[in-house]
Amino acid sequence: MKVAILGYGNIGRAAEQAIIAAPDMELAGIFHHNDRRVSGDEQAMRDNPIDADVVLLCTPTREVQKFATVLAARGICTVDSFDIHGQIWNLRNALDAVCETNRSVSIISAGWDPGTDSMVRALLKAMAPKGLTYTNFGPGRSMGHTVAAKAIPGVKNALSMTIPLGTGIHRRMVYVELEDGADFKTVEAALLADDYFAHDETHVIAVDSVDALNNVAHGVNLVRNGVSGDTHNQRFEFNMTINNPALTGQVMVSCARAAMRMKQRGEYGAKTMIELRPIDLLPGEKENIIKEIV
């Protein structure tokens, strides 16, 4: 199975390692907008043939749809980790028709949330249909909040940490490195008024170096208390403490395997992870996997 990578940031580099470690995959190339092999724009992508069964789209989330559409139209499978929860259904719909027409498979939102957490949430709901699930994130860096903090005037660099307080409530710890002459109180007020931060408990802390705090650790505590049949108080908990890009890259690579298998069976289309069979994520023969894992 030939797997290529588009985008060579944290996740692209992690995906590269996961492909190298996979017993059934060959790295078919790494494409990046600063790289000679391919330009990041659509036209260049159309003009350059890619000898790959699957391309992992390790680009910024907002570029996913453009590249996935171009590749699907050429019958090449894609995997992305598109992470804007409210837009997942629209992305799926837009890609689904292109995939069906061109006999390809796009697995979308294949990271840990959305992604593997989504599979756990679906499973827990099947186990106890009534009840509440809370997904508690962190401690770990929020990409969206970090970008929002960096956009505040007077901020040179920033890091927004997500701290879980339980029941899906989170505290934001925002570490800011100020530009020369910037006033902390002014920056703090602007940040606390920003829509990204206005609704959560937020603490702003000035530091000399944001880079000194750099750490890609993250975590999840996902809990459900629900009802199976008419039996209440069924309790479930899923925890993880992980290196964020390493897990995202690995999940994308496991999904590349599922995409190939679905294509081979003629199951074309765009799919989220809750539409995948867990066995398709794993290498090897069905008989061995069932004997080992079930």
Closest distance of CB 197 from a second copy, Å: 25
Is residue 81 involved in binding a second copy (CB under 8 A)?
no
Q: How many residues bind a second copy (CB under 8 A)?
A: 68
In the complex, least distance from residue 169 CB atom to a second copy, rounded to whole angstroms: 19
User: Is residue 94 a contact partner of residue 82, using CB atoms and an 8 Å limit?
Assistant: no
What does each C-alpha distance from 1 to 13, 20, 195, 214, 231 come to in angstroms?
A: 19, 12, 44, 35, 46
Q: Does 263 bind a second copy (CB under 8 A)?
A: no
Cα dihedral angle (37, 82, 240, 285), rounded to 10 degrees?
-70
Where do we find the tokens 């290498």? 283
CA atoms of 144 and 140, how far apart (whole Å): 12
Does 287 bind a second copy (CB under 8 A)? Our answer is: yes
Tell me if 97 contacts a second copy by CB under 8 A.
Answer: no
Residues in CB range of 287: below 8 A, 6 or more apart: none
Q: Which lies closer to a second copy via its Cβ, residue 159 or residue 273?
A: 273
Q: Which stretch binds a second copy (CB under 8 A): 47-55, 64-72, 145-153, 232-240?
A: 232-240
Q: Which is nearer to a second copy, 239 or 264 (CB)?
A: 239
The answer to whether 293 contacts a second copy (rule: CB under 8 A) is yes
Half-sphere exposure of 283 (CA within 13 A, CB side): 12
Residue numbers 103-142 binding a second copy by CB under 8 A: 109, 112, 114, 116, 118-123, 125-130
Residue of 155, 253, 256, 259 interacting with a second copy (CB under 8 A): 253
Cα separation, 131 vs 8, whole angstroms:
41
266-285 residues near a second copy, rule: CB under 8 A: 272-279, 281-283
18 binds a second copy, rule: CB under 8 A = yes
Q: Is 238 in the site for a second copy (CB under 8 A)?
A: yes
Q: Confirm or reject binding of residue 166 to a second copy (CB under 8 A).
A: no
Instruction: Select from 84, 88, 192, 207 the one that contacts a second copy (CB under 8 A).
Output: 88
231 binds a second copy (CB under 8 A): yes
Nearer to a second copy, 136 or 202 (CB): 136
Applying CB under 8 A, the residues found at the interface with a second copy are 14-18, 20-22, 85, 88-89, 92, 109, 112, 114, 116, 118-123, 125-130, 227-231, 233-243, 246-247, 249-251, 253-254, 272-279, 281-283, 287, 289-291, 293-294
